[in-house]
Structure 1
Amino acid sequence: MSESGENKLSQSSLIGLVIGSMIGGGAFNLMSDMGGQAGGLAIIIGWIITAIGMISLAFVFQNLTNERPDLDGGIYSYAQAGFGDFIGFASAWGYWFSAFLGNVAYATLLMSSVGNFFPIFKGGNTFPSILVASILLWGVHFLILKGVETAAFINSIVTVAKLIPILLVVICMLVAFNFGTFKEGFFGMNAHGALPFSFGNTMSQVKSTMLVTVWVFIGIEGAVVFSSRAKRKKDVGTATVIGLISVLLIYFLLTVLAQGVIIQNHISKLEAPSMAHVLSYIVGDWGSTLVNIGLIISVLGAWLGWTLLAGELPFIVAKDGLFPKWFAKENENGAPVNALLITNILVQIFLISMLFTDSAYQFAFSLASSAILYPYMFSAFYQVKYTIEHKQHATPKQWTIGILASVYAIWLVYAAGFDYLLLTMLLYIPGLIVYSIVQKNNRRRLTRVDYIFFAIIIVLAIVGLVRLCSGAINVF
């Protein structure tokens, strides 16, 4: 269904999708996740490295959007254009699973956050929690059916609402910041006090912060996934860069300023969400209440944003002929009705399963958690490939961002862990069947390269299964 310019996404809506998708519940515990094991110096170095990698990746998305405006599927279509149908399909398959399983986590985290005010929802997996989460799930579903643009507009409003308490915390920490406290824990601390500078210890601390930053920018591709719905294609890249830099600055201030408010060796002792305890330390108990309300708004907004992403991507892939055609159906409002339906049915099934055991969800999430990183890696690789193919017109910036983003994307996959790479291969086994059927229906034969990838995935999946059954990998 064609959409008029008035019904397409503005730059502000695209920025809202980027920021809203990245800032979820994790931001509210970032102070202790990073600062609990690292001093101010290590945190600053960690953010500098992360900034170089993520900004390079954001510029990759911006450059590819400008150079290849014909690729409407964003991170999926970059993988397909650069490395063939199967890599494109595999990127989309893993991303989709990661996205909808992440929504199960958002649902339970939301209810657990509400449990801070109403104990009946404590833990997030009680019957009342699952009941209310299910009602919200289908409420979001029918909201998106009113039109992706309407849902994106509401997402922008929620994004502004979630930023208010976060920015208030930043302002309060700026006022309460004590340089002496910051200086004391600058090189890190142990139970006995401040540590002297040590290169090896500092680098160890930096690594601990980098393992946290692997996951905090998931969602940077929010605008890219919706590139086909943007009013102007160039807005997609601009929104990605603005959104990333905004979130990067917020995260940097939250984690660094906290080191000057609470002594470093006490930060690790803060209960989740640590932001609530930091603000409470500065202004009193009402600060904790405000942050917990902000957490609820933030998680609800991230849930909406990721439901949009989880429904949109399979819809786009199906339109390109790499997912079953059934996923490509739109309603009269241009919403991906079938893709959204199957996505939310799967979320609902996992929510119900958590009434009895969370083992099924934990196992599925372990399979899918690192799969969302591969599209980033192939997008960066495609930037390098595209630059090589057009080297006569390539600029130093295009070479630089491609190489830096590729190195950083490889680091992301490495940091996620080799065991998770093996488990992810199990996720792709049913995908091989779906891909084969889709290619057959489209009268496209499997290529020799496809069979090579099939063999690699099956071998790695078998290794992962053996390690899982032997207890070498523990996901519960």
Structure 2
Amino acid sequence: MQQKQLGLLSLMAAVVGTIVGGAAFNLPSDMAAVAGSGPVILAWVITGIGMLALALVFQNLSLRKPELSGGIYSYARAGFGPFIGFNSAWGYWIASILGIVAFVTLFFQTLSYFFPVFGEGDNLPSLVGGILFVLLFHWLVARGIREAAIINVLTTVAKLIPIVLFLLIVLFAFERDVFTADLWGEGSFSWKAVGQQVKDTMLVTLWAFVGIEGAIVLSGRAKRVKDVGVATIVGLIGTLAIYLLISVLSTGILSQAELAALPEPSMAYVLKAVVGPWGAVLIVIGLMVSITGGMLSWYLVTVEIPYVAAKDGVFPTRFAQVNQNGTPIASLWWSTIITLAFVGIVYVSASTYQKVYSMASVAILIPYLLSALYQLKLVLTRETYLNDGRKTRDLWISLFATGYSLWTLYAAGLSYLLLVSVVYGVGLVMYLWVQRRQGRAALGKWDWIVVGLIVVAALAAISNGLV
């Protein structure tokens, strides 16, 4: 039985700690690379509405289905069966691992500000450092979920300090003329150009919010079920305000072209343009603290998903093993091994931070979409909605969340969808193996359609040289 160890503060730290990682510190250049000030604002409005809808879906499901303590994985399984539930768990697990790898890459790329030997975070010194970095967090989580959560609260507070200072300083240095010069990007205003710019920002804004479900995944360890939803909504609103201010205020300091050309972390160079070198040092240190906290949050969430899935029989049973500290130790070890393998792949392929986080974002969209569809299913079947006046409200929320997830998958582009399908294809092999060992019927008639889509997409990715 899981220990009910986490209170509201720890759950809020899990949400904010997972969301506010490295993405916040590179928003100025990531957004300016594809959009002007106006489309950036529109992108955050769309993402804010979409993510608020998803957060309300997570909150609502945590209250209506408190017995589903695996959160985002459990919703897919309860709504659409073991095979779809497995794919949600598998996709979320791999996406979380890719998120950790993205943090490792960005950490050593940032560290090169002080120690140039680390280059772009994809060379041999970064590989060695990344391996040691990952093993450090493995050790921390192995000591116990509660102890790791306490450290996460401290790092979450520490990472917010330089961000708040950045916002205060840049607010007073904001120049309206600079902001309006690139309001709608290059050329004159047109809805087509603005729409394309907004579309091109979707993976950036999504990555900035990946982790919103952090408290949901850890709901089985929450002291009070109601705290899960509160932590999710408060974390979302606070983070949205931070992201919007970072993106908009930066466009009042440097032009779009200047922001797009900034190295990572771009926030450091924006502040440097206002106050000098000490501003860059402050942000670089803040980013390193942020990545440290983000890594810990991601690790907490990453090891939980296979553990819960194993208890339900869709992952190998060994993933349900825990150590004397209550940590899912088998899940932790496999998560670490796969993470280290991906760190090595980044070194060999010289993949960028942006490419890794884009893959993670697309992979995690599937579990998001399935959660929204499960909420929609509950409304349409009236399950838990007998004599409940909130049916219409929740119908609209689930439709918004579903629409946002589908729109973002479209905006991601075909290449990333095909690439991620290979990941799901590997998971298919493991699922069939587990079901065979347990003597269960592996697939239903509708499941075969999903299998066909995964296999065709994976083969297309391989034949087009995307892998």
Q: Report the TM-score, using the length of structure 1 for normalisation.
A: 0.91
Q: Distance in 2 between matches of 1:61 and 1:291?
A: 32
**Alpha-carbon distance, 1:132 to partner:** 2.9
Amino acid at match of 1:268: A
The question of 1:437 aligning with 2:429 is answered no
Contact 2:177/2:252 (CA < 8 Å) preserved in 1? Answer: yes
Using a 3 Å threshold, how does the CA distance of structure 1 residues 464 and 351 change in structure 2: closer, same or farther? closer
The question of 1:232 aligning with 2:224 is answered yes
Q: Which residue is 1:308 aligned to?
A: 300
Deviates more, 1:405-414 or 1:30-39: 30-39
2:327 to 319, 324, 335: 335
**Alpha-carbon distance, 1:68 to partner:** 0.3
Deviations 1:338-381 (A, max 9, x none): 10011102222333455555479999988765221100000001
Q: Distance in 2 between matches of 1:268 and 1:349?
A: 31
Contact 2:99/2:356 (CA < 8 Å) preserved in 1? Answer: no
**Alpha-carbon distance, 1:153 to partner:** 1.3
**Alpha-carbon distance, 1:267 to partner:** 2.3
Amino acid at match of 2:261: K
The DSSP-based 3-state class of the residue aligned with 2:464 is helix
Q: Which runs of 5 or more structure 1 residues have no equivalent in the other structure?
A: 469-473
Deviates more, 1:295-304 or 1:79-88: 295-304
Q: Which residue is 2:11 aligned to?
A: 14
The question of 1:399 aligning with 2:387 is answered no
Q: Which residue is 2:157 aligned to?
A: 160
Using a 3 Å threshold, how does the CA distance of structure 1 residues 220 and 365 change in structure 2: closer, same or farther? closer
Amino acid at match of 2:428: L
Q: Distance in 1 between matches of 2:406 and 2:128?
A: 40
Q: Distance in 2 between matches of 1:266 and 1:153?
A: 40
Amino acid at match of 1:170: L
Using a 3 Å threshold, how does the CA distance of structure 1 residues 410 and 362 change in structure 2: closer, same or farther? closer
Amino acid at match of 1:295: L
The question of 1:32 aligning with 2:29 is answered yes
Q: Which runs of 5 or more structure 2 residues have no equivalent in the other structure?
A: none
Q: Distance in 1 between matches of 2:462 and 2:301?
A: 30
Contact 2:109/2:121 (CA < 8 Å) preserved in 1? Answer: yes
The question of 1:278 aligning with 2:274 is answered no
**Alpha-carbon distance, 1:394 to partner:** 5.1
The question of 1:84 aligning with 2:84 is answered no
Deviations 1:205-231 (A, max 9, x none): 333333421322111111111010011
Q: Which residue is 1:426 aligned to?
A: 422
| Identity, % of aligned positions | 45
Q: Distance in 2 between matches of 1:384 and 1:161?
A: 39
- Size of the aligned set, in residue pairs, is 462
1:248 to 234, 240, 244: 240
The DSSP-based 3-state class of the residue aligned with 1:209 is helix
Q: Distance in 1 between matches of 2:353 and 2:268?
A: 28
Contact 1:387/1:394 (CA < 8 Å) preserved in 2? Answer: no
Q: Distance in 2 between matches of 1:160 and 1:365?
A: 24
Q: Distance in 1 between matches of 2:20 and 2:404?
A: 21
Amino acid at match of 1:145: A
Q: Distance in 2 between matches of 1:18 and 1:415?
A: 25
Q: Which residue is 1:471 aligned to?
A: none
> Within 5 Å, which residues of 2 pair with 1:148-297?
148-188=145-185, 190=186, 195-297=187-289
Q: Aligned-pair RMSD on alpha carbons? A: 2.4
Amino acid at match of 1:329: Q
**Alpha-carbon distance, 1:434 to partner:** 1.8
Using a 3 Å threshold, how does the CA distance of structure 1 residues 129 and 268 change in structure 2: closer, same or farther? closer
The DSSP-based 3-state class of the residue aligned with 2:67 is coil
Q: Distance in 2 between matches of 1:288 and 1:364?
A: 25
**Alpha-carbon distance, 1:135 to partner:** 2.3
Contact 1:82/1:385 (CA < 8 Å) preserved in 2? Answer: yes
**Alpha-carbon distance, 1:145 to partner:** 1.4
Deviates more, 1:442-451 or 1:111-120: 442-451
Using a 3 Å threshold, how does the CA distance of structure 1 residues 357 and 417 change in structure 2: closer, same or farther? closer
Deviations 1:68-98 (A, max 9, x none): 0000111111111111111100111111112
The question of 1:112 aligning with 2:74 is answered no
**Alpha-carbon distance, 1:401 to partner:** 0.7
Q: Which residue is 1:122 aligned to?
A: 119
